[in-house]
């Protein structure tokens, strides 16, 4: 018997004992093993880094009974099981692109994963305006390999349906459906974080635009009903580890079967947040890199999608003339739409981003937020207009001009 045979929320002392018990294969030095809570420990879970003086280390991630961001949110503690299994699938589809999983413990609702502390969380790095020349290549490969290859285009339909059933996550999907597709457009639960000087602009542009609401409603229902691919589900720059030579995606607890464009759109939106920050500090070199990277991500994704589709499509009807182009155009529509909802919800919703909230100058922050609102609306209202990386970037430039005109 062990005290870890019954669930409780661990502290740094508990987690040392737990790591010794759960990961004996690591070969710990028991005299120097210790644990800390790293700075980048997310909104939902409790994360610990366990390490010793001989270079051994592991991350332990435990699901709490309440989310860290809000006690109103009580997602199922099964979310770490979902994340562990999704990471293992992603590792098979896109090797070395996610942290290695050592174990998952159903009792403690905890998993042990590879320590990536030699990487940096991408959002933190980009707040210092660091650039990563291989990122567009890495993330476009990860998305094509994991998203297309977990779809009906490639997978056996029965096997795919078993995964759909396995990765149904009502609690976490409920969070997405409220925080992304509802609250930014009506503040129905009175928990939006709206920058006070921007309140009237938000009311006019987001809360009172019925044409926008209709398109967001369509995107919400598509998210809820189109089990297209196994998405990461929260693919932002706070869920990506980077080095100059390597990229790893983590935090797949929101993973589920949903539209491919939800992941691809989230990446584009979060690169725009980085652009906002560069603009606020007049860092033209960094701004240029963010826009070039957005363009490259889209264009590389399209190129790799076409190649992978030709190589791996197994569904006979997916090989019908014209289907590949139709399927791509549909996911590009979704990419634009879901980029728009991510831009809005991170600007006015419950979970803001430091790229924008760290901007101290009021006028510059207003400019950043209004760029996000304008480009988000452009993406959502004109989804069929975005067929290349240049199309996505031109919308950002239009939004910048429109936002400046309001100040």
Report the CATH number at residue 330. Answer: 3.90.1200.10
Give CA separation, 377 vs 92, 234, 380, in Å.
37, 20, 5
Helix axes of 260-280 and 323-348: crossing angle, nearest 10 degrees: 50
In which residue are the tokens 């409220």 written? 178
Strands (DSSP E) contained in 228-317 are: 229-231, 240-242, 247-249, 256-258
- CA neighbor of 271 nearest in space, from 327, 346, 214, 185: 346
pLDDT-based confidence at residue 67 (cuts at 50, 70, 90): low
Task: Specify whether the CB–CB gap between 371 and 276 falls below 8 A.
Answer: yes
The whole-number average pLDDT for the span 73-96 is 88
Say which residue, 72 or 228, is predicted with more confidence.
228
pLDDT at 71 over 80: no
Indicate which CATH number applies to the domain containing 34.
3.30.200.20
Amino acid 64: pLDDT: 83
30 and 163 assigned to the same domain:
no
Give CA separation, 56 vs 20, 32, 223, 243, in Å.
11, 10, 41, 20
367-402: pLDDT as tens digits: 999 999 999 999 999 999 999 999 999 999 999 999
pLDDT at 72 over 90: no
- Supply the DSSP string of 106-136, one letter for each residue: TTTTEEEE---TTSEEHHHHHHTT---TTHH
219 and 351 assigned to the same domain:
yes
153-174: pLDDT as tens digits: 999 999 999 999 999 989 899 9
Amino acid 253: pLDDT: 87
45 and 164 assigned to the same domain:
no
Pairing of strands 256-258, 229-231: antiparallel
pLDDT at 66 over 80: no
Amino acid 80: pLDDT: 82
Show the domain range for 316.
120-405
136 and 68 assigned to the same domain:
no
148 and 109 assigned to the same domain:
no
The whole-number average pLDDT for the span 253-277 is 97
Q: Which of 95, 113, 131 is the last residue of a domain?
A: 113
Amino acid 69: pLDDT: 59
3-state secondary structure of 399: helix
The whole-number average pLDDT for the span 301-314 is 98
Task: Specify whether the CB–CB gap between 327 and 260 falls below 8 A.
Answer: no
Count Cβ atoms below 10 Å from residue 182 Cβ, excluding itself.
19
336 and 232 assigned to the same domain:
yes
Amino acid 321: pLDDT: 98
365 and 277 assigned to the same domain:
yes
* 159 Cβ contact partners less than 8 Å away, ≥ 6 residues apart: none
42 and 80 assigned to the same domain:
yes
92 and 235 assigned to the same domain:
no
197-255: pLDDT as tens digits: 999 999 999 999 999 999 999 999 999 999 999 999 999 999 999 999 999 999 898 99
Q: What are phi and psi of 127, to 5 degrees?
A: -65, -20
- Average per-residue pLDDT in the chain? 95
Task: Specify whether the CB–CB gap between 215 and 381 falls below 8 A.
Answer: yes
- CA neighbor of 144 nearest in space, from 291, 300, 259: 300
- The angle formed by the CA atoms of residues 193, 199 and 204, to the nearest 5 degrees, is 120
134 and 279 assigned to the same domain:
yes
Least confident of 57-66, 88-97, 197-206, 354-363: 57-66
Please tell me the total count of domains within the chain: 2
pLDDT-based confidence at residue 44 (cuts at 50, 70, 90): confident
pLDDT at 41 over 80: no
Say which residue, 65 or 68, is predicted with more confidence.
65
CA 288/CA 274 separation, integer angstroms:
11
Q: Which of 97, 113, 129 is the last residue of a domain?
A: 113
34 and 181 assigned to the same domain:
no
For the chain, the maximum distance between any two Cα atoms, rounded to a whole number of angstroms, is 68
pLDDT at 73 over 80: no
Say which residue, 161 or 46, is predicted with more confidence.
161
pLDDT at 79 over 90: no
Q: Which of 60, 95, 113 is the last residue of a domain?
A: 113
102 and 164 assigned to the same domain:
no
């Amino acid at each position: 018997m062990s005290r870890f045979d019954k669930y409780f929320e661990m502290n740094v002392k508990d987690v040392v004992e737990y790591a010794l018990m759960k990961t004996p294969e690591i070969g710990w030095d028991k005299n120097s093993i210790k644990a800390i809570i790293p700075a980048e420990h997310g909104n939902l879970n409790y994360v610990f880094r366990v390490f010793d003086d001989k270079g051994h280390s592991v991350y332990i991630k435990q699901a709490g009974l309440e989310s860290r961001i809000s006690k109103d949110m009580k997602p199922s503690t099964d979310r770490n099981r979902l994340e562990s299994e999704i990471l293992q699938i992603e590792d098979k589809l896109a090797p070395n692109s996610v942290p290695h999983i050592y174990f998952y413990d159903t009792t403690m609702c905890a998993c042990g994963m590879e320590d990536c502390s030699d990487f940096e969380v991408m959002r933190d790095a980009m707040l210092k305006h660091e650039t990563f020349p291989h990122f567009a290549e890495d993330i476009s490969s990860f998305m094509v390999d994991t998203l297309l290859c977990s779809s009906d285009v490639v997978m056996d339909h029965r096997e795919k349906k078993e995964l759909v059933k396995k990765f149904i996550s009502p609690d976490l999907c409920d969070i997405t459906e409220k925080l992304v597709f509802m609250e930014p457009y009506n503040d129905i639960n009175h928990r939006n974080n709206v920058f006070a000087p921007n309140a009237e602009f938000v009311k006019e542009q987001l809360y009172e635009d019925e044409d926008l609401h209709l398109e967001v409603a369509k995107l919400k229902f598509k998210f809820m009903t189109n089990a297209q691919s196994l998405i990461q589900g929260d693919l932002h720059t706070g869920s990506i580890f980077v080095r100059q030579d390597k990229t790893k995606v983590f935090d797949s607890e929101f993973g589920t079967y949903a539209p491919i464009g939800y992941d691809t759109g989230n990446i584009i939106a979060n690169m725009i947040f980085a652009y906002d920050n560069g603009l606020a500090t007049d860092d033209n070199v960094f701004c240029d890199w963010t826009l070039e990277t957005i363009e490259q991500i889209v264009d590389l994704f399209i190129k790799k999608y076409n190649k992978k589709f030709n190589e791996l499509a197994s569904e006979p009807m997916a090989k019908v003339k014209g289907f590949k182009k139709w399927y791509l155009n549909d996911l590009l529509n979704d990419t634009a739409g879901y980029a728009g909802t991510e831009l809005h919800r991170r600007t006015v919703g419950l979970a803001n981003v430091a790229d924008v909230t760290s901007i101290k100058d009021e006028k510059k922050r207003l400019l950043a937020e209004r760029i996000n609102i304008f480009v988000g609306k452009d993406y959502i209202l004109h989804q069929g207009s975005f067929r290349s990386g240049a199309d996505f970037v031109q919308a950002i430039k239009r939004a910048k001009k429109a936002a400046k005109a309001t100040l």
